[in-house]
Amino acid sequence: MSEERIQLKINGLPVEVAQGTSVAAAILNSGRTSFRQSVDEESRGPVCGMGICFECRVSVNGHPHIRACMTTCEAGMEVITFG
């Protein structure tokens, strides 16, 4: 069985992932660990990986505060981190 691959952009750069990959995994696989900054300008990233902590929020297709760990990558998706 072959794995279907899709392309999206993270901070404007093309990334290819397997279908079903979470946005959080795609960001981490691209080498980033900082997803956003706290009000004290500290880097923040995924903690729980299951939608509870809200530390993984990014912009997806222009929508802010999307939990990356709860969002599945889609072809052509535009993801922006703030870390």
Phi then psi for 72, rounded to 5 degrees? -90, 135
Number of residues that bind ligand FES (CB under 6 A): 12
Is 6 or 27 the residue whose CB approaches ligand FES more closely? 27
Which of these ranges, 5-13, 26-34, 45-53, 74-82, lies near ligand FES under the rule CB under 6 A?
45-53
**3-state SS assignment for residue 29:** helix
How buried is 60 (Cβ within 10 angstroms: 0-12 exposed, 13-18 middle, 19+ buried)? buried
Binding of ligand FES by 18 (CB under 6 A) = no
Which residues contact ligand FES (rule: CB under 6 A)? 46-49, 51-56, 67, 69
